[in-house]
Amino acid sequence: MPYALIIGAGKVGYHLAKMLSESGTRVGIIDRDKAACKRVAEELDILAVLGDGTEIGVLGEADGEDADYIVAATGRDEDNIAVCRIAKTRYGCGRVITRVIDPRNMALHRLAGADATIDATTAAARMISDALPAEGMRLLSIFESGDFSLAELELGESSPASGLLVSDLKLPQDCVLIALIRSGTVMLTRGATALAAGDRVFALARRPSMEKLREALIGRT
């Protein structure tokens, strides 16, 4: 059974611990707050260690050397960065995930050894921005790295892609059409698939290429 050690028993740490423990993962958690540790221990029935998660002794008390995953989930960048550094240099943890509070500190988290960074501030702003659709296109999902997004584009009568085969489209290099919906029927797109007005086309592309993708399918607006 994999072991996930979470540093920080606030809202983020608590709910993550609950989700992981319910999925069958062994979970441990560290927090400076006595009440938070008591709540976790009583409600989730997992290991809860009271102390400073940036201290090697406290991490050892929580079996840090056995952790398959260490998650730095406190509300302070400096603490999360310190946890990342210890997790990598002291324990050689294979997967270190960190919560980024101030996006300007992203590089410091990565330099400290974070394998994955969760920047809630930027992610929230991006999701709100993506919820405001460009003409004929809306973004449906952002993948973990933030580099790729899934987009839906609806072709009109005047769309340059209407009537063309997928293989004839001049798409950005880092873009692929996945499927389309036509008259309520889902179809996987192939090179020989002919597009038509009214098609709802789903594409995966790097975010910087989204505008070129929209121009190729919908046209300039």
Position 143, amino acid: F
Cite the residue boundaries of each domain of the chain with CATH code 3.40.50.720.
3-123
pLDDT at 27 over 80: yes
Q: Which helix or strand (DSSP H or E) is residue 11 part of? A: helix 11-22
pLDDT tens digit sequence for 110-164: 999 999 998 877 766 666 555 555 566 766 666 555 577 888 889 989 999 999 9
pLDDT tens digit sequence for 46-93: 999 999 999 999 999 999 999 999 999 999 999 999 999 999 999 999
Cite the residue boundaries of each domain of the chain with CATH code 3.30.70.1450.
133-217
pLDDT at 180 over 80: yes
Query: Distances in Å between the alpha carbon of 191 and those of 55, 164, 166?
Result: 57, 10, 5
Task: Average the pLDDT over each of 107-116, 187-196, 204-213 and give the range with the smallest value.
Answer: 204-213
CATH number of the structural domain 133-217: 3.30.70.1450
Q: What HEC string does 41-57 produce? A: HHHHCCEEEECCCCCHH
The tokens of 162 are what? 């209407």
Q: What's this model's pTM, rounded to 2 decimal places?
A: 0.64
Residue 20 to residue 189: CA distance in whole angstroms: 37
CB 123 within 8 A of CB 142: yes
Residue 97 to residue 70: CA distance in whole angstroms: 6
CATH number of the structural domain 3-123: 3.40.50.720
How many Cβ atoms are within 10 Å of 76's Cβ, its own excluded? 14
Q: What HEC string does 131-189 produce? A: CCCECCEEEEEECCCCCEEEEEEECCCCCCCCCCEHHHCCCCCCEEEEEEEECCEEEEC
